[in-house]
Chains A and B, each alone.
Chain A
Amino acid sequence: MSHAGGGLETLRRSASPGTLKRKRDARLSPSTTTKSIKLHNTLSSSTSRQPSSDRVDANKQYRSPDSDEAHPSDSGDTSRGIDSSPPKQRSPTYAQSASAMATLNGAPHASASDRTPEPPMTQKERPQMLPPPGKAKGYRVVWDPELDGKLSKEERKRATLRKRDFGTEIYEPDPPPDPRLAIPGYMSGQCRAKDRPSKAIWRPAPYNLPLYKIDRYSVGPGEAQQVMVMGFDPFLPDATLRLNFSTFGSVASVQHKTDPDTGSFLGIALVKFRDGYRDGIECNAVESAKRAENEFNGSRIGLHTIRVEVDREGRKFKRHVESALRKARDERAKQRKASIAPATVSDEVVRPTNDSPAPPLNAPKGPSGKLSKPLGSTAPAVKPPEGPRGTAAAPSNPRSSSGPLIEVDLVLPKLKRKPYIHIPHASVPVLGTTIPHLKKRLKAYDWREVRLDKTGYYVIFEDSKRGEDETERCYNECNMAALFTYKMGMECQKYGNPDYERSPSPERVMVEKQNREHFERLKLEDELDLEIEKKNRAANLDPVQGALEQLRIELRERIMGDIKTRIAIPIFHDTLDPAKHLSKRRKLGLPDPSDNDNKGTSLLFNKAGDTSPHTPRGRHGYPLPHAKPLRPHDPNNRRDRRVDYERERIPANAFVDERRRRPAPGPSRHARGLHFRLQQMFDEEENSDDEGRTSLTRDTEDQESRPLSRTSRNSTPFDNESVTETPKHKRRKVTDWEEDEKEIFDGLQKQLLGHLLHKEPEDLATRELELVVNTLPRSSKYASRAKTELFIRQRSKADDDLFNVKSEKNDYVASFIDDVEMAGRDQERTPAPGIDVKAVREKAKKKRKTKKQILEEQEALQAGAREAKAASKPIAQETVTQIEVKELELEAVEELAHADVTWAVTHDKPRRTVEDDRHLVLDVDGWQDIIKDNEDLAFARRALAEDAAYDIGDVKLWAWKQKEIKALNSGALGPVRSETGIDGYYVANSTGSARTEGFKKILNEEKSKYLPHRIKVQKAREELQARLAANPDAVVETVKITAAEKMASTATSRSNRVNNRRLVNDINLQKQNMATVNSDADVAIRFNQLKKRRKLVKFDRSAIHGWGLYAEENIAQNDMIIEYVGEKVRQKVADLREVRYEKQGVGSSYLFRMMDDEIVDATKKGGIARFINHSCNPNCTAKIIKVEGTPRIVIYGLKDIGKNDELTYDYKFEREYGSTDRIPCLCGSANCKGFLN
């Protein structure tokens, strides 16, 4: 079914009787709405006639054969789903819905007029089984050629069936008599057959079913147990009301509503009964409520006739309250308006106009005349919604309040469709007192109510046919009849307010109202937020802050701008400079427009030792080895690193020294495959800008291309030195460094590093670099940079050594020894770099040796090491022991290395064969990981040779155990990057374990470091203090906020409910007590308070001292929390006990001084209130109140206390300044005085 079909369905349904609402629903749902519009548009032109709806329905139900023929497109269209033009018969439905649409679209009158002539009964007509009169019901064959034997075959074929329609004749058949009427006694209900009792009675008219009885099987709320009472004096005390109603049964509660805005009583109450015993007789709450309604409705309380209605679920009550509130609100609004324009009011008083509620001058001076005048002048100010208040104000005039007074707002718009008769003020003056007379006058007619506003009287009738008739009758008979001296010029509106446009359905009204309310609420909240915001701003209005904020914003903008214009743009410009891409161009074989210019420089470069791969090689096409370190190395270039890393992760390559395999010089660069070049290119491009540049450009552009912001750094030793003293290539390197740093550098480290980099003697620099490496934290960026630099230097030096370019071996060895020493010194922490350096260096050195030589050397070294070890006797140096371990492990490692290492030479830039993970923890696994082969081992051994070996017995076993322990505790096998240790708080015992250490008193500060509950509080406290120190205002602010939060939290619904319940119970109890023993009421209340108003509390460990008491619910300010219970003793006894307790070591004092000589001792016998700790910023207070003549200690909330907050009060000890035994206070509040006494 297409969408149109769906729409049809909906509409068809909407045509069913009595579904105005559903129709609206359909209209409201967007898809059908649009559809119906469309349908209407397509159809409205063709359908001008409006057949009655029963006809439509009939057609819908019944399809005559020719109706099929008449609308062949019907089903087809719907099934095809294109531009569905539905059957024409349905048009009225669509028209109707379309008119409803029109209502929405702003032409409401049309629909109203459309609807009014439509009799409502037609809607209720059921679809007919029979076709409408006048249509053929069928046909009868009168002659069939096939059956005619006389005809020949030919003729038979040719001849057509002769048929005759029937049912076309219109006649009014008498409906067949109801067969049931034949049953004797059917009409009288006496027809039941004897054998089966039947309830079938002929009902000629609908009748009301009796209300269902609520019995024990019924679900839902039971019968009403409460009555709504209104009309009484709002100032009537609850007690009186209760008393009144308690004659019918025991009253559970009286809920007398107040206006939430003004707090005034509305005079509407809900009285709830409960099952109970009265005078020994059981009285049912339901019965009570019923009785109250029956007997009390219409009777009086005081001078007021009250209305009592059973109200099962309090809905009536709610409704009335709502209306009363609305009225009150309107009134207030009016009053406000009136006060704004008092002039007009006074005008009206002087010269009562038509609009004035005041009576005309010629009006009879009724009994309320006096009243109405002030009423007029002060207008609605005194007018209470229900009138009773007015009486309270003027009790001498009860009658004036008995009926409704002149309504402030016009009645007419409220009347809607109710039939009414209007008596304009012109014919009968508007006077509240007239109403009773008028009522009396019209008592022959069945009116519902008489209302009065300034335009006149409205006699309102029932909203039904009967009401309409009644209206007409009244009009006919009473129009222009006399009322006192006036003539009632009536205006009959039996169809209700002529101007009334049918209001939207109640549902929609509701929805709209809800929406509006929602919207208003949102608005209100927004406003509130704004208010709070404003208040907050006002509270911490700090012009300096504001200015700072402003400045900050501006500065940021400026800085961003500067960065853009001064840094970013030059860099971009730089990068795009064609001169910089020479090398690339050359590599790609692109002609260079300025080739000639650059040739010289590049040549120059080669001499200077530029090592970029695409520049001409040194000997054998090799990069000049000593020039390597001059390559800008960017340790921060992650991509580059990753590439390296990945290369090394291939296991086969793990220990590769590429140079070993092919000691002969590799083929020169140009002979390599193209793919290689490609790779080169990528490598190059992956590098940073700097690498793409030639050093010359760097040199030349160095000064001016450096961003201005760097000038500040010129003050560091960095540049001053380098520019003046260092040779050119060194200076370049410096710039590299500088260029590399994009981040702001830690001053000291930077200086240190910078300083080192420019050390003239290489060895010194290297050594100091190592120092840097060792001192800096491993994770530091600078450390890694320094390491890199160190490595580069060392490698270059090693290479130099190898080729005897610069220094002799002696130097090298000396520095090496230094290294070793240093490594030994802080080997506990960072032995890695030293070892690594050595290993690498060693490799470089041995590059040219044959394998055999290597082995020989290793063996020699090992032997030496062994000797050394043997010589040195066990001294506790744990790291040394690891040499032995390494030996073993390295055997295995070596085997592995020999087995699958493929030797190769690096052809591009030199790479490390192994990337040492400097974050490894150097336990057994770590060593194993970091020492890759025999030379590493040899050097490690040499490094540790000075330290004596530890006696660890079986090395393998020892190593295995170490690993096991580590695996057990860290949960990981293999090398780890974090030290396996004890998490959290741990202080090692000097003897090894707690038990061998013996007992020591643990100080509180120490305990605060590991006791969980203390840590929590301690943290909070420290945070607070830190913030206090940093920014006192902010803390105050946060304190405020938390206080506000707490305030909010205390107002949770649950606590409200609890409080309400408590309150009600209390009131009840108090009342009962008052009733019985009036004299002791006060005592009773206090006693009750102590007993009943206790809050839920619990005790738990406290950070302040030992145990503490905690709230288990939100406690409001000034609420009683708990009573301090204990033995009451005299001062002397207390003193004795105190001494005794102290001796016994009862760590806490539970003595509470109540009076001078009365002390409550809760130590041995007492309640948990004794656990409440002291705080200098308490949230509770202890009060001593007298109950039954004896003083009691009661703890009250000093502020709102949130759930799980610790309760504290100020112990108020006497201050003992200078005393030796002052008790330190640990309350942790911001204003802590430090001591309790």
Chain B
Amino acid sequence: MSRPLCALWVFMVLLGDRLASPYRPETEPLDPEPHEANSIVELEVPPELDGTMSDGELVPHHYPAQRAAKVVQHYLNTRHGSPYRWIELHRVNKASLEDLGQAGKKYYLEISLKEVISNTDLGQCSAEVLFSGEQDQGAPQVQCPCEGLQKLNTTAEEEALFQRLNSSATPLSGSNIPDSYGHIAPEMKPLWHLGAAAASFVMLKESNESTLYNMAQVANITQLETENGQLRFKYHVLLHDMISQEILHWKLLVSWSPAGGVSVLQTEGQPKPAESTPEDTAPTSAS
């Protein structure tokens, strides 16, 4: 073999060695004190006592920042979600927490977001989430000016859908979206996204530091009469709360138009439907 080739080969082997070098992850200090808890509660280490970070700083991939970031996702979908727009949290990059005493807890987040339908990277956004300190917690307050959202343009598809549904002879209806196999008929996909955007209003309102909501399924959708230039739908959605692992049923009256965006006119939490064997009713919202 010629010398330049030998050199190339050696170089490649060395490169391969570097690629295979040991991975040194960041680790956290061990808690050396085993401790018996004697109550069946959500024994979560409050973020401010999670002693590994300094002064309000949170570990981005730990649950407190993740839950707060999910709330931002719900907020963004209430404002920007549509049959052709679904915003998803991609990653939490930085997070910190400010304890405001009576006023509640305020999370400061740097997150990356994605618009899922067009697979658009929305880049990094800053967000603030305030969870109320009061007993009867209102919806969390969210601020998230996100420039990346400007690049989304779904007007054409939305107009086409609006026209089709507005002028259709038979009102649209559907159920179990997605079905048990995760399948969604192509013509129902926009209605699934619309349902998720509408569900985001409920998920936002119901969120607190001990919840993590996603929409599990559109159980049922029925189109109603168009009113005031808005398409209207009755939705029955199933929400999943990761923390309690419960499925929550909600009935929603939803209106939508490309110009008006998504509005939820009425919401109704439903008890768990009975199985074939008698069941108690479940709580309508996660505790």
Do A and B share a complex?
Answer: no
Interface positions of B (Cβ within 8 A of A): none
Interface positions of A (Cβ within 8 A of B): none
